[in-house]
Amino acid sequence: MYSFYKAVVVVFGPEYLRESTAADSERLLAINAERGFSGMLDSVDLFARIAEGHCPEVNFEINGHQYNKGYYLADGIYPEWSTLVKTIPNPQEEKRQMFS
């Protein structure tokens, strides 16, 4: 198994296991903006980089308020940070259920 994992890293590492670039961030921002999530970078797969304070600068506006950092969709196990947007626990109304 170890040899298999090592081979996967060698073969796929340069493309899929590398750090994000500015171009990657721009691509993700554009895709998510089309989906109605302006300023959202990605899911919390990049959590380690956020925890280290490495967050690409992103400028967007929602309801007349300017933001300069992107956000990530997360669930309840993550800390209460402004860059982590969590779902509504136990949503009761249809609109809230749809958001969740």
Q: Give the residue, 71 or 99, on which the prediction is more confident.
A: 71
Q: By the 8 A CB rule, do 52 and 19 touch?
A: no
**Average pLDDT score over residue span 4-32:** 85
pTM for the model stands at: 0.45
Residue 7 lies in a domain: no
The Cα–Cα gap between 79 and 47 comes to 11
- The mean pLDDT value of the chain amounts to 80
Residue in the block written with tokens 């921002």: 29
Residues 6+ apart with CB under 8 A from 25: 41, 56, 58, 70
Domain span at residue 37 reads 22-99
The tally of domains found in the chain comes to 1
Residue 56 lies in a domain: yes
